[in-house]
Structure 1
């Protein structure tokens, strides 16, 4: 759910995240869960982006705690 100061879209990038040769959309929210941070991946298909199979990765899922600002930037 959208919350104040999540900063959804703080970093956005098109990249082939799943190795299928199509550009996927990666969007971050570095303020999610009190600045712990999170990112979302929307899969790319032959006809464009889809929410089917979308994934969310939180800072906690990758072992970060506290105000890590995970997702503040994308390289």
Structure 2
């Protein structure tokens, strides 16, 4: 089953290889509970290239922000 977050980025934005910046963008424009925490963890793991587990939306948001900033440097 395809991750709905990655599918949305691909279908609506044309993003084939999402990175943390794309995930942060989507996270900031969507209602927080639009996607499950499990979907966010899976999308973030795929974008980061390693297994990531955030136990809350707050932790997820902070983690995505940190990865997005790091990817710009």
Q: Which has the higher helix share?
A: 2
TM-score range, shorter chain: under 0.3
Considering fraction of residues, name the structure with more strand: 1
Higher relative contact order (CA 8 A, sep 6+): 2
TM-score normalised per structure 1: 0.23
Tell me the TM-score normalized by structure 2: 0.23
Whichever of the two has the greater Rg, that structure is 1
